Structure 1
């Protein structure tokens, strides 16, 4: 595993402020910073996702604090390997860290969460929300601030219904989030699934899968491939000519702001389910987008937005306990209350401590300046939870 150097000026300044902040004990606050174990993917082709997650989280730190509480991040690169992530988490647990976040893939999360919870720690997920932890295996110290995996794809199924698709082919990588994706879509889609194709998580060539799509002649496809795989899929789909006759519907994380730069015109016209885009019209979102662009000279992805919201959720709970997460019941209750202003708009936590929020049908299209942006077409689900909440019994 690799220890990360915080070399970006904005990140380094925030980190330095966190570690050198004047102890708040003199003002009635915690004497030492609260350390958060931050394990994420910063290498491999998916590393840009971890970068946006890290940068979005760091942006929420104000003078090295969250909720007025001094915070120190201990950052590790998991290299998209569950074993690396587990080793990092175990080491952090042994060093006394009790609060964790950062993981951006469901298979990695599955390796980290059990050990953290068994040690009496807290995990607050800022991206994956696998079904395995949303129902019977929910835990009072496990929170998800992004979405439950299936719910995002259930919203895509509702979007497909709105778009009038009748015959659809589904594609996703064969791992937990991929299976959740297709199950979620099938749960709400009213048409016919004429093909269900699983790919490899690190796949780069989709020629065989595209040939099969062509032979099935669907009205549309729904595909979930994040990061580098999503870039390759979109480019190959456009180059195959299929995009001219078979529209593509995706979850937002299969075409984010940074992927647009890599795919170019291939992104134009793709539909997506979303809880947030840079075009969302509310003050918190506009301020976040402006601040992120100013700090990092690029447009934030939904990963950055989720990390920023997660940081502020954690900050609201740290404030409530004055940084003392040893007050577990009070810290837990403060997380459940979610008393912060979410960039995405309405936000609350359901009985399984996963989000209840609005979902939108969006389209990637050129704006007045000729830039491809993710425009919002309509809301498809309001105050929407997930299919597993009823199975969760938290004492």
Structure 2
């Protein structure tokens, strides 16, 4: 049976509603993402990778079938919170995963982890607050803390000898973290810093005019999804692509490249996962995803795939018995699964300790736009907030 995008259409949840969670004959996972509006392509990419993970698992974990309840946050924190509450209270899921946006995750966190005492796995958003003082025994990440990826780019810019930088990002939790991250490690001169309206602003002409006047040696941006498409196009239209290199995080990927096209060629980004990482699990994932969808997966998808495999590792170790949440959390902490990025382990705040790579936008031998690894920027990186976490 084909799964739809929304939980009510995908799961016969009522048959389980009167049973204790541990007695269910399935492992039930709620997945919150954006499935409508201009950023729906990200949610779809995540869903595709979740479905591929289910296929690779044979539709079962710990001897029980897997059920996914997809919920659309509509790119809105209040909607994301309401959908998260539904998953915990009405659908009685064992786990909640997903979350693209930091503001949506922050709005939903306590609803899931505290009020619902349910384990939440972020497959993307990594607000600094949750890595630090808001860390929670029920929260795990298969992505990163927001600051880490731009910190890796800052380190790389230092080695590259970029002496001045102009930074631009959206005015919300993740945007602030991302710009703080690159400023934390970059040692050159900061020529300017702009925060744009989120999510409404898609015209960056004023910012590009200021950048042109400042004459930096580089531009650093964080603009995921549709916003990244628009910034790259306008950067090229302004002519700055001929004079000021663009360095980015989460702005050029498998989702945006079909629209950015050759305008993105040669740009550099940082990421903890790249499609060409040479471990067997990653090779299988990328090959199977491309075969199914005729495109490369993105890091959103890779992180979502890892979230499902992390859950599966705990369910397998406990033979499907999820009744003791302390035992479930203990198995999750072990991270005993084959991650697409290779070695995977958690820090004390349950964010990954991991490498970050520099990727370049290229064409593959078949002429498809993609990214390839050109350097390792940071090895076994810990986020800068874990010492503020009360968990030890």
Shift, 1:30, TM fit: 6.4
Give the alignment partner of residue 374 of structure 1, picking from 364, 368, 371: 371
What SS does the corresponding residue of 2:326 show, helix, strand or coil? helix
Given the alignment of the two structures, is residue 37 of structure 1 paired with residue 30 of structure 2, yes or no? yes
The 5 A counterparts of 1:299-310 are 299-310=296-307
The 5 A counterparts of 1:111-130 are 111-118=107-114, 119-130=116-127
Which structure 1 segments of 5+ residues have no match? Answer: 21-28
TM-score, normalised to structure 2, is 0.91
- Aligned twin of 1:75: 70
What SS does the corresponding residue of 1:138 show, helix, strand or coil? coil
C-alpha distance in 2 between matches for 1:46 and 1:115: 24
What SS does the corresponding residue of 1:294 show, helix, strand or coil? helix
What SS does the corresponding residue of 1:254 show, helix, strand or coil? coil
Given the alignment of the two structures, is residue 157 of structure 1 paired with residue 162 of structure 2, yes or no? no
- Aligned twin of 1:231: 229
C-alpha distance in 2 between matches for 1:99 and 1:353: 16
Which structure 2 segments of 5+ residues have no match? Answer: 16-21
Check whether the contact 2:61–2:320 (CA below 8 A) recurs between aligned residues.
no
- Aligned twin of 1:46: 39
Q: CA-to-partner distance for each residue in 1:201-247, whole Å, 9 max, x for gaps?
A: 22211111110110110000100000000000001101111011100
Q: CA-to-partner distance for each residue in 1:164-205, whole Å, 9 max, x for gaps?
A: 111000000000000000111111111111111101222211
The range that moved more, 162-171 or 224-233, is: 162-171
Check whether the contact 2:225–2:255 (CA below 8 A) recurs between aligned residues.
no
What SS does the corresponding residue of 1:246 show, helix, strand or coil? coil
Aligned pairs, how many?
A: 378
Check whether the contact 1:321–1:327 (CA below 8 A) recurs between aligned residues.
no
C-alpha distance in 2 between matches for 1:240 and 1:50: 31
C-alpha distance in 1 between matches for 2:293 and 2:155: 35
Q: CA-to-partner distance for each residue in 1:76-135, whole Å, 9 max, x for gaps?
A: 111101111111111222223341011111111111111111221111111111101111
TM-score, normalised to structure 1, is 0.91
Given the alignment of the two structures, is residue 273 of structure 1 paired with residue 270 of structure 2, yes or no? yes
What SS does the corresponding residue of 1:387 show, helix, strand or coil? coil
- Aligned twin of 2:163: 166
The 5 A counterparts of 1:1-395 are 6-7=3-4, 32-61=25-54, 62-95=57-90, 96-118=92-114, 119-202=116-199, 203-251=201-249, 253-394=250-391
C-alpha distance in 2 between matches for 1:75 and 1:191: 44
- Aligned twin of 1:26: none
Q: CA-to-partner distance for each residue in 1:299-357, whole Å, 9 max, x for gaps?
A: 21111111111110111011122333331111101111000111112211001100111
C-alpha distance in 1 between matches for 2:273 and 2:233: 24
Check whether the contact 1:98–1:120 (CA below 8 A) recurs between aligned residues.
no
C-alpha distance in 2 between matches for 1:246 and 1:143: 38
The range that moved more, 31-40 or 301-310, is: 31-40
